[in-house]
Amino acid sequence: MPIVVRIGTGIALLVAGSTHLWTFLHGYRHTSVGPAFLVDFALSVAVGLLVLVRGSRPAAWAGSAVSAAALVGYAMARTVGLFGFVERAWTTPSLIAGACEAIVLVLLLTEALVPET
């Protein structure tokens, strides 16, 4: 994986995960989706570090999966609800996390699908 993609996506995963932890600690702890924020934090940090350290195809697939799951969860929370929770407001943390997840998904999925040479 190119070093720029590796560093950029690794940092984006760490930022997205940290944003989920911050959101959990500042308001979502007592909601039905609170535990999902902690799971996302843990997975984003673990996979972000994996991408930074290894930069392998499996790391790219893992990063793509974590980001896709976070984006699907966010889309569900904004529309039909997730675990009975419906997000009504557009917040800075949600926009930061969403942007990071989208960047990671596009870059790592592209990297995972490019044939090895």
Cα separation, 39 vs 7, whole angstroms: 22
Which is higher by pLDDT, 89 or 18?
18
Q: Which residue has the tokens 């870059």?
A: 107
Closest Cα partner for 48 from 19, 77, 91? 19
Over residues 29-52, the pLDDT tens digits come to: 889 999 999 999 999 999 999 999
What would you report as the CA-atom Rg of the chain, rounded to the nearest whole angstrom? Answer: 14
Q: Give the domain ranges of the chain.
A: 3-113
Q: Which residue has the tokens 């940090």?
A: 45
Over residues 58-99, the pLDDT tens digits come to: 888 899 999 999 999 999 999 999 988 998 888 898 899 999
- CA 50 from centre of chain: 14
Length of the chain: 117
